[in-house]
Amino acid sequence: MEDSICPLDYRYGRREMKAIFSEKGRIQYQMDVEAALARAHASLGTIPGSDADEICRVASLAVVSVSRIKEIEKDTNHDLMAMVKAMTEKCAGSAGKYVHLGATSNDIVDTAAALQIKAALEIIQSDIDALLLTFAKLAKRERDTLQMGRTHAQFAIPITFGFKIAGYIAELFRHRERLFEMTPRICAGKMAGAVGTGAALGKNFFRIQIDVMMDLGLTYEPAATQVVGRDRYTELICLLANIATSLERYGTEVRNLQRSEIAEVSEPFDSAKQVGSSTMAQKRNPINSENVTGLARVLRGFVIPTFENQVLWHERDLSNSSAERFTIPHVFVILDEMLVKMNKVFGGLEVHSEKMLVNIESAKGLIMAEPVMMRLTEKGVGRQDAHEIVRGASMRAVKDGIDLIQALLDRDDVMAVLSEEELSAVMDPASYVGGAREIVDKMVGNVEEALGKKV
């Protein structure tokens, strides 16, 4: 592919997903719809059963070649009609005259697109399940691993690394639920003719449309124009962009935690072969997380044209067609790539628990200001007064470069209600992670129940 310009052709994307949206894949799905239409006609006696069987036989790339379709398209300048003519040529007997009977192009195009989307969503669901399982294993392993919690990129209070991952599990579960709930709406075809009234299908219109979609495992557009409503595609692309943005969030966290001055995690790195930099031989860069970040930005770029494709003139125009040839395949191929990469990152993530403890200790006790304040209130000090006491001690500790515990021990208003032993116990980071461990257990249990696998 030395003349290719799209990175999906030579750098990104898995074969399974790209096959769905390849030219051959698209044509085969369209012929599958033509075959289902013929079967529906035959079941109602509109066409002979033997002719429907013949149409089903030729509805295959093993019979109808892509090269012949392209040859016809040079004359017709219409890709769908070229396929119909190529199928007709291959039909024996009288079957050819029944190919595409009562349909309009977008009956076939949109229904085939629904089949492609359905197949692609099955891959995305599998990817999500794989990542959930990886997250669950990591969260369970790091359930008790103390880590600095950060807000505004500043030290906050302790968490566990497993708790951080548990939050990712909860978020990804929501995406999984959205995907399941959305799928019947998105995987909808139509067999309703030129403007959606089904006039060319006559008295059998409603039955044919239902039979075709049941045959193909799809829902159908109940009040179509010439096309399936594009609000469906908008919902689809927005969800996939939402998932991509969550993946970018996870990748961004890895990138930040791998920064040299934090150094709490590292992406997997093949130290025997992998090169981090062409000149800085020591480098271990978070390239997969950075790659996911960039791909998410590209993927979200397809949201705007998808919204604009909803606005078609009257019963439809063709302004959406060229855009959708880019948007739908690219979004699916990119998201699949991102999910697989994130699974690789977290599946081999190196967690530097000792560095997490070093970072906690570097705070000199300041991250334990809140539990001290809460213990003071338990001892009868007013909440606002307790806050001011601890704030004052914290400011002094920062100014003088001492540990917070020393600044607190130097205050009479603290020592009047707390002993040194009590204060030391309160300021143990391991004692102040709340329900973090239990949240991890719950999220891991949710994954096990949903996937039917023990972590």
Q: Could you tell me the CATH number of the domain that includes residue 52?
A: 1.10.275.10
What pTM value is reported for the model?
A: 0.94
Same domain, 62 and 174: no
Helix (H) / strand (E) element for 150: namely strand 146-151
Give pLDDT, residue 3.
Answer: 81
Q: Which of 342, 358, 374 is the last residue of a domain?
A: 358
Examine residue 62 and state whether it is found in any structural domain, yes or no.
Answer: yes
- Quick count: other Cβ atoms within 10 Å of Cβ 298? 14
Q: Does the pLDDT at position 96 exceed 90? A: yes
Q: Does the pLDDT at position 379 exceed 70? A: yes
CB 163 within 8 A of CB 443: no
Examine residue 374 and state whether it is found in any structural domain, yes or no.
Answer: yes
Give pLDDT, residue 269.
Answer: 77
Same domain, 86 and 122: no
Q: Does the pLDDT at position 277 exceed 60? A: no
Write out the catalytic residue numbers. 152, 277
Same domain, 390 and 293: no
Task: Report the domain count for the chain.
Answer: 3
Tokens of 48: 């002979």
Give pLDDT, residue 274.
Answer: 64
Same domain, 375 and 345: no
Q: What is the dihedral of CA 403, 406, 407, 409, to 10 degrees?
A: 150
Cα 282 from Cα 268, distance rounded (Å): 15
Instruction: List, for residues 105-164, the tens digit of each pLDDT value.
Output: 999 999 999 999 999 999 999 999 999 999 999 999 999 999 999 999 999 999 999 999
* Mean pLDDT across 25-47: 98
Mark 47-67 as b/e (b = at least 16 C-beta within 10 Å). Answer: beeebbebbbebbeeeebeee
Cα 304 from Cα 327, distance rounded (Å): 10
Same domain, 349 and 260: yes
Mean pLDDT of the chain: 95
Q: Does the pLDDT at position 271 exceed 90? A: no
Distances (CA, A) of 275 to 12, 26, 169, 392: 19, 39, 32, 49
Examine residue 443 and state whether it is found in any structural domain, yes or no.
Answer: no
Band (283; pLDDT cuts 50, 70, 90): low
Tokens of 142: 């790091």
Examine residue 150 and state whether it is found in any structural domain, yes or no.
Answer: no
One-letter amino acid identity for 437?
R
Band (279; pLDDT cuts 50, 70, 90): low
Q: Identify the burial level of 339 via C-beta atoms within 10 angstroms of its C-beta, where 0-12 means exposed, 13-18 middle and 19 or more buried.
A: buried
Same domain, 284 and 400: no
Same domain, 208 and 279: yes
Same domain, 350 and 409: no
Same domain, 200 and 337: yes
Band (1; pLDDT cuts 50, 70, 90): low
Residue 399 belongs to what domain range?
366-426
Band (218; pLDDT cuts 50, 70, 90): very high
Examine residue 7 and state whether it is found in any structural domain, yes or no.
Answer: no
